[in-house]
Structures are given as structure tokens and as C-alpha cells.
Amino acid sequence: MSPVIETQNLVKEFKVGQGFWGSSSRKLRAVDQVSLQVDSGETLGLVGESGSGKSTVGNCILRLVPPTGGKVLFRGENILGMKENRFRSVLGKLQMVFQDPQSSLDPRMTVRKIVGYPLKIQQGIQGRDLTRRVSAVLQDVGLDSGHLDRYPHEFSGGQRQRIGIARALITGPEFVVFDEPTSALDVSVQAQILNLVVRLQEKYNYAYLFISHDLAVVRHISRRIAVMYLGRIVETAPKERFFSNPCHPYSTALIASVPRPDPFRRQTLSVLGGDVPSPMDLPKGCGFAPRCGRVMEQCREVPPPRVRVAEDHWVDCHLYG
Ligand SMILES: Nc1ncnc2c1ncn2[C@@H]1O[C@H](COP(=O)(O)OP(=O)(O)O)[C@@H](O)[C@H]1O
Ligand code: SF4
Ligand SMILES: [Mg+2]
């Protein structure tokens, strides 16, 4: 199957701590040589601790932040090099559902405007046609079209996230980034939204990158899993294989820390001892070395190689080099 989205050696550095005259600014490497691909209609779960760079990967793919290096290919075409006109024409094919429905919906706009906006801007659809399309997508996400002229604050958190999903789907995207879409919601509502995301994929047939710090959620929802640590993807594997045969010591520790996979219980990944190195001062060798129970001498000196351990299963670790 051909990938709908592919990143090649994606890098994002932020300038931080800018001093007077910009002289003392330092660089924080949030994303470090990330190469991933998502096939048509498939789901890749991107999991990692807070601060590991997950959102920045999603934002770079959608050009919400400009990457420092690397490529983002949409159906083989580098969107980073696209002229504004060309990019606008593919924009509706690439969408995002944000973590916090509270802050990602404009409080002064009605549902009709919020959800219809992408279609109006990108395809010039207006009037009754627009209303018809908005009503249809609202129905798909489980909201009554009688809500068209209400404002975001009149809805619950879960309903607001449904509005965010409707806005993302109305243009018929081929690829959607869901960035922790349930982590700001009550536990009881999380499951409903996760199930909605899965169900809608059958109808709309989008591929998606599902970002979460919660391994149980990612397990519930993904076909393949990628584990991110300190700006890098350290392991990628099909879901079943990942849980039955994790290779990276970080993955093993993560899985051990979630004894019963329960998507409806909140889990965090900050369960390991040891310090995560600073992304402003990345270590020479493996970033996991200060926390790894199997660390060897070379781990501190040499970056781990990427090794293919099985079909579709890759790990960055000296144990397999
Ligand atoms: N706009 C920004 N300016 C400076 N640093 C940032 C910015 N956005 C993210 N970062 C830093 O980049 C790293 C990765 O952040 P992020 O992608 O948000 O991680 P995650 O989504 O996994 O929690 C963190 O160290 C974070 O502090
Ligand atoms: S490369 Fe070394 S330190 Fe890093 S995860 Fe593998 S064994 Fe541990
Ligand atoms: Mg994030």
C-alpha cells in the first residue's frame, strides 16, 4: 500500500532563551530525524512521555510549525516545498483534531460557522449547500443539527470535541492528526470519543496519526505503534507484535508499567526512574542511557543504529546492532 503521509528525517529545533540582541539564544531539538509513514486508511499510534516531541511532529506534518529540516511527503509530494497555492489545494486533505476542544474552538463563532469554515474557505461552498454539509457531518459525529446556531460554551467537553472532529472531517481528509483528543476529557467520555474516531474511520476512510501519552489508549486504537523518546522514534511495530515482543528497553518498561490494558483508565508514562536528558543538550549516544537497565559502554558514546528485527518492526538500540 502506498503511504499517504511520510516524513523523512524530520527535524525541528526551537530557539529558546533569546537574550538581548538575540545573542544568547540556544536551540532545543524537539524532533530529531523522525522518519515515519502512514498508509492509506491505516492508523499509526504515536506514544511517548510528555515533552518527547509528539505534538511537534504532528504540527510539522500539517505545516503548523515550520520544520528545521527533512521532508513531509503527501502522496509522494513534499508539502514543505509547496507554493502557497498548491499547499492550499491539499490543505483540506490534511486535518488536525486538537487536544483541548476548549481553546481550539473560537468562542465567538457558532457551530455552523466553526464546522463550515474549512469548506467555505477551501471549496467556496456557501448558503444552503454549506448548511446541508454541516448538518450531515454533525449527525455523523453524533450531534443534533438543531445545535447549528449555538456557541461552544453551550456544550460539554465531549460535545466540543465532537465539534472539533466534525470540523476536521467536513473537507473529506485523507489524513488526520488526532493530538491527544481525549486527554482533556472526563474518563467516562474518553471511551465514547475513541469509539467515535474508530467508527468514523470506516465511513470516511481517513488514515490517521493518533498521538497519546497513554499506552492503553494507543493500544485500543492503532494498527501500528511508534514509540517516541526525546525527539526520536525508538521503535515501530505492528500493534500485536509490539505488545508481544517489544524490543527497546524503553518500550519494555512502558508495557510493564501498564499491567492491564484498560483504555478507560488514565495512565501516564512517567513511570520510569532516572532523568530524561534535556533536549537542549542531547547526549552523544543513546538518550535513554541514563535510565536504561541494560546500558553498555558504547551506548553513552555512539548513537544506536536502526535495526530491522522483523517484518515492519524497527528498533534503535545497540542491543540489536
Ligand atoms: N513553541 C515552542 N518553543 C520552544 N519549545 C517548544 C515549543 N513547542 C514545544 N517545545 C518543546 O519541544 C519539546 C517537545 O514538545 P512537544 O512536541 O509539545 O511534546 P509532546 O507533545 O510529546 O508533549 C519540549 O521540550 C517542549 O518544551
Ligand atoms: S542503546 Fe543502550 S542505553 Fe539505549 S536503549 Fe539500547 S541498551 Fe539501553
Ligand atoms: Mg503534545
100: its cell numbers = 483541548
Q: Are residues 295 and 181 in the same domain?
A: yes
Q: Are residues 212 and 264 in the same domain?
A: yes
Q: Could you say which DSSP state residue 266 is in?
A: -
pLDDT of residue 271: 54
pLDDT of residue 102: 81
> What is the residue range of 27's domain?
5-93+174-191+199-316
Q: Are residues 120 and 240 in the same domain?
A: no
Domain-embedded: residue 212: yes
pLDDT per residue as tens, the chain (321 positions): 689 999 999 999 999 876 666 566 789 999 999 999 999 999 999 999 999 999 999 999 999 999 999 999 999 999 999 998 899 889 899 999 999 888 889 999 999 999 999 999 988 999 999 999 999 999 999 999 899 999 999 999 999 999 999 999 999 999 999 999 999 899 889 999 999 999 999 999 999 999 999 999 999 999 999 999 999 999 999 999 999 999 999 999 999 886 555 555 544 444 567 788 899 988 899 999 999 999 999 999 999 999 999 999 999 999 998
Q: Are residues 186 and 300 in the same domain?
A: yes
Q: Which numbered atom of ligand 1 lies nearest the CA of 31?
A: 14
Q: Are residues 185 and 160 in the same domain?
A: no
Which ligand does the CA of 229 lie closest to?
1
Q: Are residues 252 and 304 in the same domain?
A: yes
Domain-embedded: residue 102: no
Domain-embedded: residue 247: yes
Instruction: Give me the number of domains the chain comprises.
Output: 2
Domain-embedded: residue 235: yes
Question: Letter for the amino acid at 287?
Answer: G
Domain-embedded: residue 30: yes
Please choose from 56, 65, 178 the residue to mutate so as to test ligand 1's pocket, defined by most ligand atoms within 8 A of CB: 56
Q: Are residues 20 and 133 in the same domain?
A: no
Report phi then psi at 165, rounded to 5: -70, -40
Q: Which numbered atom of ligand 1 lies nearest the CA of 56?
A: 17
pTM of the model: 0.93
Q: Return d(Cα 264, Cα 192) in angstroms, integer.
A: 10
> At 280, which CATH number?
3.40.50.300
Q: Are residues 151 and 289 in the same domain?
A: no
Please choose from 14, 31, 52, 233 the residue to mutate so as to test ligand 1's pocket, defined by most ligand atoms within 8 A of CB: 14
pLDDT of residue 320: 96
Q: Are residues 131 and 114 in the same domain?
A: yes
pLDDT of residue 287: 95
For ligand 1, atom 8, the nearest C-alpha belongs to 56
Helices (H), the chain: 54-61, 84-91, 101-104, 111-123, 127-140, 157-169, 187-204, 215-221, 239-244, 249-256
Which amino acids bring their CB within 6 angstroms of ligand 2?
248-249, 286, 288-289, 292, 294-296, 299, 304, 317-319
Rg of the Cα trace of the chain?
A: 20
Q: Are residues 254 and 311 in the same domain?
A: yes
Angle CA 128–117–109, to nearest 5:
100
Q: Are residues 69 and 216 in the same domain?
A: yes
Q: Are residues 168 and 178 in the same domain?
A: no
pLDDT of residue 2: 80
Ligand 2 mean position, distance from CA 301 (Å): 11
Domain-embedded: residue 311: yes
Domain-embedded: residue 9: yes
Domain-embedded: residue 321: no
